[in-house]
């Protein structure tokens, strides 16, 4: 079986409230990789149901993520855009990998601890096994690179450990490539606008904590105006942002949106008060996000088009995954 060299797989969960962190930490980076890699971009609906999703909302949110991919510049003709539940290889490989990965590895996953919270006994089994499904997503295509935000680094390490153990256990050296995380840009971890020490997240109860891909220009400006900062002006150097989480976050967002480094942004704004910097950031965010959100709305008004993209993508994804699964079945000894 041919060894892929430059195959990218990544996904976003259709859990609603798609936000600037998802865009800057993941989706925007997906776009650039299209020039150099063969890419599969998945709407990971099976991951989404590890916490309760209203069925009608799940369908709408699945189309929203697909629309965000396309509106951001992912080309579903040249690359593959699909939703996970349409390709049974994910579930089948996840089961086999559940029997390869070790409970001790999963017990160390910080995202499970964060998401399950204090009432761990009531979390779904799926939430606990989430990283193994993620390993299966990647390995079903023998993907070599996975663009993600920083929060997914630990899960990627588990995917690599699982691939390595499978290769060793079944005496198939190099069968699964060890996937490399691609954590890129100045906004690998966009923080909440209400609390610069917490990740911007879909599930934060405060809508003011995140800029979403559905926000109007007015919403964006309002949220940036209300973003938590401090009374000091912006420093001259990046070191001067230490201990100023809210300020660091806004400078990082500005850098990522403008394609500059934090240092370049500070060279432009050093000594500026937030009363000057926030409106500049709001203008930039509106300028960069509005064309995407407008195109997303247009696409979401045509669900039949989105469904046809997902269907065609699933056919192409199955064509890659099916031979991999057939070989996995042989290696495991299934007849
Ligand atoms: N705040 C963030 N900054 C940078 N990247 C981020 N990502 C998520 N939040 C940030 C990246 O977006 C991709 C898709 O994430 P996901 O939807 O699969 O899952 P998530 O990380 O659980 O997203 P949320 O928004 O934080 O949702 P909840 O609130 O449910 O936990 C991934 O590449 C992720 O790294």
Q: How many Å is the maximal CA-CA distance in the chain?
A: 70
User: Which two three-digit tokens encode residue 7?
Assistant: 């195959």
Mutual orientation of helices 89-98 and 303-332 as an angle, nearest 10°? 40
Give the pLDDT confidence score for residue 1 in this predicted structure. 79
pLDDT of residue 2: 80
Predicted confidence at residue 22, as pLDDT, reads 96
Contact 89, 141 (CB under 8 A): no
Distance 29 CA to ligand 1 centre (A): 14
- Same domain? For 243 and 108 the reply is no
Contact 95, 129 (CB under 8 A): no
Per-residue pLDDT of 180-223, as tens digits, reads 999 998 889 999 999 999 999 998 999 999 999 999 999 999 99
- Same-domain status, 293 and 311: no
The catalytic site residues sit at: 115, 199, 202
C-alpha–C-alpha distance, residues 112 and 128, integer Å: 6
> Is residue 112 a part of any domain in this protein?
yes
- Return the residue whose CA atom lies nearest to atom 35 of ligand 1: 149
Q: Is 17 in the pocket of ligand 1 (CB under 6 A)?
A: no
- Can you give the pLDDT at residue 219? 97
Q: How far apart are the first and last CA of the chain?
A: 20
Ligand 1 atom closest to Cα of residue 10: 33
CA distances from 33 to 7, 41, 145, 147, 184 (A): 10, 11, 10, 9, 11
Closest residue by CA, ligand 1 atom 10: 21
Locate the ligand 1 atom nearest the alpha carbon of residue 18 and give its number. Answer: 25
Residue 123 lies in a domain: yes
Question: Is residue 195, in this structure, part of any structural domain at all?
Answer: no
Instruction: State the pTM of this model.
Output: 0.95
Q: How far apart (Å, rounded) are the C-alpha atoms in residues 253 and 265?
A: 10
Number of domains in the chain: 2
Same domain, 154 and 43: yes
* Lookup: tokens for 320: 């890659």
Q: Are residues 218 and 235 in the same domain?
A: yes
122 plus 270 within the same structural domain: no
Note the pLDDT of residue 227. 97
Task: State in Å: Cα 13 to ligand 1 middle.
Answer: 8
Residue span of the structural domain in which 167 resides? 7-188+302-332
Going from the C-alpha of 145 to that of each of 91, 105, 142, 151, 251, the distances in angstroms are 21, 21, 9, 16, 28
Centre of ligand 1 to C-alpha 10, Å, is 12
The pLDDT value recorded for residue 235 is 97
Is the minimum distance from the CB of 148 to ligand 1 under 6 angstroms?
A: yes
CA 171 / ligand 1 centre spacing (Å) = 35
> Does 42 contact ligand 1 (Cβ within 6 A)?
no
Looking at residue 126, which CATH number applies to its domain? 3.40.50.620
Answer yes or no: is the C-beta of 203 below 6 A from any ligand 1 atom: yes
Atom of ligand 1 minimally distant from the CA of 200: 1
Q: Assess if residue 54 is contained within a domain.
A: yes
Contact 168, 176 (CB under 8 A): no
> For residues 271 and 269, what is the distance between their CA atoms, to the nearest angstrom?
6
Q: Which of 8, 13, 22 to mutate to test the pocket of ligand 1 (most atoms within 8 A of CB)?
A: 22
Alpha helices in the chain (DSSP H): 20-22, 28-33, 45-48, 55-72, 89-98, 103-107, 110-116, 125-139, 153-169, 217-225, 245-258, 262-269, 274-300, 303-332
Find out whether 145 and 108 touch, Cβ atoms under 8 Å. Answer: no
How many angstroms separate the alpha carbon of residue 197 from the centre of ligand 1? 15
Residue at 71 is within a domain: yes
22 in contact with ligand 1, CB cutoff 6 A: yes
Measuring from atom 15 of ligand 1, which residue has the nearest CA? Answer: 12
Q: How far apart are CA 283 and CA 202, in angstroms?
A: 23
Q: Are residues 278 and 311 in the same domain?
A: no
Q: C-alpha angle 207/213/214, rounded to 5°?
A: 75
Does the residue 197 lie in any domain? Answer: no
- Determine whether the shortest distance from the Cβ of 149 to ligand 1 is under 6 A: yes
Q: How far is CA 1 from CA 138, 165, 180, 199, 322, in A?
A: 17, 19, 20, 41, 12
Q: How far apart are CA 190 and CA 194, in angstroms?
A: 12
Residue 134's nearest CA partner among 41, 29, 10, 34 is: 10
| Same domain membership, residue 123 and residue 242 | no
Output the residue whose Cα is nearest ligand 1's atom 31. Answer: 201
pLDDT at 218: 96
Same domain membership, residue 180 and residue 34:
yes
Choose which residue among 25, 115, 187 to substitute to test ligand 1 binding: the one with the highest number of ligand atoms within 8 A of its C-beta: 25
Q: Which ranges of the chain have pLDDT less than 50?
A: none
pLDDT on residue 118: 86
Q: Select from 149, 185, 188, 205 the residue to mutate for testing ligand 1; criterion: most ligand atoms less than 8 Å from CB.
A: 149
**Is any atom of ligand 1 closer than 6 Å to the C-beta of 201?**
yes
**CATH of residue 278:** 1.10.240.10
Residues 223 and 318 in one domain: no
| One domain for residues 139 and 115 | yes
Residues 132 and 271 reside in one and the same domain: no
326-331 long-range contacts (CB < 8 A, ≥24 apart) are 327/1, 327/175, 328/93, 328/96, 331/170, 331/172, 331/175
| Residue 2, in any domain of the structure | no
Mean residue pLDDT of the chain comes to 96
DSSP, collapsed to helix, strand or coil, labels residue 43 as strand
222: its two tokens: 């309002």
């Amino acid at each position: 079986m041919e060894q892929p060299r430059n195959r990218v797989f990544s996904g976003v969960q259709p859990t609603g409230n798609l936000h600037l962190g998802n865009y800057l930490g993941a989706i925007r980076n997906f776009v650039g990789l299209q020039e150099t890699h063969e890419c599969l971009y998945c709407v990971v609906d099976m991951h989404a149901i590890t916490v309760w999703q209203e069925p009608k909302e799940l369908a709408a949110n699945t189309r929203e993520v697909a629309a965000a991919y396309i509106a951001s510049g992912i080309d579903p003709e040249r690359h593959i855009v699909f939703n996970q539940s349409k390709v049974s290889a994910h579930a089948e490989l996840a089961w086999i990998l559940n029997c390869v990965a070790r409970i001790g590895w999963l017990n160390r996953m910080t995202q499970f601890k964060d998401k399950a919270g204090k009432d761990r006994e009531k979390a779904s089994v799926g939430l606990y096994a989430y990283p193994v499904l993620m390993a299966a997503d990647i390995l079903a295509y023998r993907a070599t690179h996975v663009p993600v935000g920083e929060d997914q680094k630990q899960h990627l390490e588990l995917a690599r450990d699982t691939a390595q153990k499978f290769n060793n256990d079944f005496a198939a050296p190099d069968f699964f490539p060890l996937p490399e995380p691609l954590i890129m840009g100045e906004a690998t971890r966009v923080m909440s606008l209400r609390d610069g020490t917490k990740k911007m997240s879909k599930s934060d109860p405060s809508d003011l904590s995140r800029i979403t891909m559905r926000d109007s220009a007015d919403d964006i400006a309002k949220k940036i105006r209300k973003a938590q900062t401090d009374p000091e002006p912006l420093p001259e150097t990046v070191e001067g942002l230490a201990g100023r989480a809210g300020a660091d976050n806004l400078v990082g967002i500005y850098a990522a949106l403008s394609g500059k480094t934090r240092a370049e942004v500070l060279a432009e704004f050093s000594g500026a008060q937030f009363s000057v910097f926030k409106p500049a950031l709001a203008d930039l965010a509106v300028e960069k996000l509005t064309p995407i959100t407008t195109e997303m709305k247009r696409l979401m008004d045509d669900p039949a088009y989105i469904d046809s993209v997902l269907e065609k993508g699933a056919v192409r994804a199955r064509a890659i995954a099916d031979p991999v699964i057939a070989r996995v079945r042989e290696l495991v000894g299934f007849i």
